[in-house]
A and B are shown apart, each in its own frame.
Chain A
Amino acid sequence: MEKTSNYHLGTWVAEILLIVIGLIFLVPFYFLLVNSIKSFGDILAHSASWPTTFRFENYANAWNKINFPTALGNSLIVTIVSNALLLLISSMAAYQMVRHDTPFNRFTCGSNGSSLSIDYVAAYGSVQRIELKQQYTRTDPMLSGFWGAFIRFSFSWLY
């Protein structure tokens, strides 16, 4: 009996501790949320406090300024296409690599894994300038880097 009550106390302490850590993790989101509805002067003067006036027109301005629907559409297309390709290509390759453990397959797997440690700038420093600016969006490096990761994970699943 003694032991169970002890156990309960331990879990409660752990639970409360974790909730506190979780709240600390959420602090940046609080800043984000609170400052998104303040006026500019208010942001500079009272950065951490609760807003005195609620300016929801900030959201309307942001929506128009970055042309949100188009931007979201672009991100959506990139996400859907790259995920579909990623899933298809990586899982096919992983399947073949696990079923047929030939030297060539081992080599491709290894080099895919090691490509994770290539710096984006290193990989793209060679391609043209404008394309280099595009690395900001990180679509292609992300794709290739994730192949390595994805294959690794698929491997650990299949084993």
Chain B
Amino acid sequence: MSQRKSAQLLQQLVFVGPMALFFVLIMVIPFLLGLYYSMTNWDGVSENIRWLGLGNYVHIFRNDPDFRNAFWFTVRFTVCGVILTNLIGFFLAYALTKPLRTRNALRTVFFMPNMIGGLLLGFIWQFIFVRGFSAVGEATGLSFFKLPWLGDGPTAFWGTVIVFVWQYAGYLMVIYISSLNNVPSALIESAQIDGAGRRQILRHIVVPLIMPAVTVCLFLAISWSFKVFELNLALTKGGPFKSTESVALDIYNEAFTNNRLGLGTAKAMIFFVVVAIITSIQVRLTKKKEVEM
């Protein structure tokens, strides 16, 4: 019995140990260090560190309009980004599980934006918005292309949303496709025989059965869009006048441009708590809707 137990312990150690070790090294220790620094006035370089307790947090809540603005921008961005990426990703997946002739080529095309890294992609799009759109506007005369893209608050906001959707819709599409392929065709056929229309099948059979994928996709989209950083940096750098600054960029600027690492880390802690609460509520809600077959 005890031999069996120690064998099990060894197995546990060998199988989970490496992951736990890396997790502690990469996540837990930096997180705890961050928690400590968020209560100091450290600038990231100097030797003298003064303990402030909750001073940084009080400062953020009392008088930091930039952080509040950044948060509001990020929330709006997340709502638009999550809804659009998931809707477009799902409908691309739904259409591309039908027997189309160019199906495989199109799947590749929609996934392609994920091949380029975030920062580079932001620079390409910045060029398109500033140079390409105006060229297209001159050629076609459409007012949509003649807007001052990235030049004022609203266009910069929607510009960021467009690039985000362009980048991630294809990724979510792949997850939705694999889930849609697992919906048993027998169920759909029997619903067809029972006289269900295409919309009814989608609403009452397909959607409930792919809820696990919805859980994953919503989770990914929420955490990606909340943490949007490179895109923001490459497209607008938070401008004009900090109107499109995301929380991650605000934290970065606070910590490394203003050299207030302590304050920046405190912001990051608040941010982490908020994102963790929102994503865990989302996962719990969508998990409830998952059905067993």
Q: A49, A115, A119: which contacts B227 (Cβ < 8 A)?
A: A119
Q: Total interface residues on B, using CB and 8 Å?
A: 74
Query: Does B280 contact A48, Cβ atoms closer than 8 Å?
Result: no
Q: How far is the CA of A87 from the CA of B114 in the complex (A)?
A: 20
Q: Is B57 an interface residue (CB 8 A)?
A: no
Check B30 against A123 for contact (C-beta < 8 Å). Answer: yes
Q: How far is the CB of B26 from chain A (nearest CB, A)?
A: 4
B12, A112: Cβ atoms under 8 Å?
Answer: no
Residue in chain A with minimal CB distance to B8: A100
Q: Which of A21-29, A51-59, A64-72 contacts B (4 or more CB under 8 A)?
A: A21-29
Nearest A residue to B265 via CB reads A125
Given A14-B100, A126-B33, the answer on whether A121 and B109 have CB atoms closer than 8 Å is no
Cα separation A72 to B269 with both chains bound (whole Å): 36
Which residues of B have CB within 8 Å of A124? Answer: 30
- 0/1 string, A1-14, CB within 8 A of B gives 1: 00000000001001
Could you say which interface size class chain A belongs to? 35 or more
A22 & B109 in contact (Cβ 8 Å cutoff): yes
Per DSSP, chain B at the interface is: helix
Chain A binder among B15-23, B64-72, B183-191, B200-208: B15-23
In the assembled complex, the CB of A78 is this many whole angstroms from the nearest CB of chain B, namely 13
Q: In this complex, which of A28, A90, A156 has the most chain B Cβ atoms within 10 angstroms of its Cβ?
A: A28
B252: chain A residues at CB < 8 Å are: 121
Distance in angstroms between the alpha carbons of A96 and B12 in the assembled complex:
7
- Min CB distance B74 to A, Å, is 11
Does A84 touch B at the CB level, under 8 Å?
no
Of B16, B20, B98, B110, the residue contacting A11 (CB under 8 A) is B98
Report the bound CA distance from A141 to B111 in whole Å: 22
